[in-house]
Chains A and B, each alone.
Chain A
Amino acid sequence: DSGVTQTPKHLITATGQRVTLRCSPRSGDLSVYWYQQSLDQGLQFLIQYYNGEERAKGNILERFSAQQFPDLHSELNLSSLELGDSALYFCASSVEGQGVYTQYFGPGTRLTVL
């Protein structure tokens, strides 16, 4: 158990819908990262938040947005869903300022868009 929690574990929805994925980082970790894992694209970095502020953006679609709240949990919002958004979405967290910055991953949310 990495200490990172993600809910829900599975999500099945229809095209055009909007969903919210939730992540709670490990205790003490200020950074949260979101990744998407799909068969065709592999594992891709989406976005990073540090202590409530957006720090880095990757290949995140405009239909996707994220935020990190004062209690450090984060939410990834996916809207106008398309079939191609079906993927495993991971949240990871890390401690800053200690050199290694190992990212510990949550169990993932498997999104299926029908």
Chain B
Amino acid sequence: AQKITQTQPGMFVQEKEAVTLDCTYDTSDQSYGLFWYKQPSSGEMIFLIYQGSYDEQNATEGRYSLNFQKARKSANLVISASQLGDSAMYFCAMRGAPSNDYKLSFGAGTTVTVRA
């Protein structure tokens, strides 16, 4: 079974600054995937970025980057140059081994508020 821990319930960040959202995970699978999703106040879940357990490079997608430290079992999301539209709830999620576990297990989420 996978477990995802997000210890920061809420964070404030100044516009144009960077923010790091913490995510630690626990799994016995050798192959797994880590995802970050954004949930604005409107409610939809928006996929942001993916990191595979065997990927040697940290994933990046525009202003989003994933700081993957496999030995520490952490997959922190970094949002650079924050914008007001980044204010939302952010969820870290994990998928287990592709051959037998396709579901996503989610953390509790971190609310980010960007201040002008």
Contacts and interface: CB of A to CB of B under 8 A. Distances in A.
The reply to whether chain A is a binding partner of chain B is yes
A17 to B, nearest CB: 23
Interface residues on B, range: 20 to 34
B112 to A, nearest CB: 17
A1 B108 CA distance: 24
A110 B39 CA distance: 14
Nearest to B103: A45
Nearest to B107: A42
The secondary-structure label for the interface of chain B is strand
Give the residue among B47, B93, B103, B105 with the most A Cβ atoms within 10 A.
B103
Interface string A93-114: 0100001111111111010000
Contact of A102 (B44, B50, B105): B50
Contacts, number: 60
Contacts of B50: 100, 102
B98 A101 contact: yes
Given A102-B35, A107-B43, A56 B106 contact: no
Contact of B105 (A31, A45, A94, A100): A45
A48 B45 contact: no
Contact of A55 (B37, B98, B102, B105): B102
Contacts of A19: none
Contacts of A11: none
A22 to B, nearest CB: 17
Nearest to A90: B45
A105 B102 contact: no
Contacts of A100: 33, 50, 52
Q: Enumerate the 5 nearest inter-chain pairs by beta-carbon distance, A residue then B residue, closest first.
A: A105-B45, A43-B106, A45-B103, A107-B44, A108-B43
28 contacts: A2-B46, A2-B47, A33-B102, A35-B104, A42-B106, A42-B108, A43-B104, A43-B106, A45-B103, A45-B105, A56-B102, A88-B43, A90-B45, A92-B45, A94-B102, A100-B50, A100-B52, A102-B47, A102-B50, A103-B35, A103-B95, A104-B47, A105-B44, A105-B46, A107-B43, A108-B43, A108-B45, A110-B43
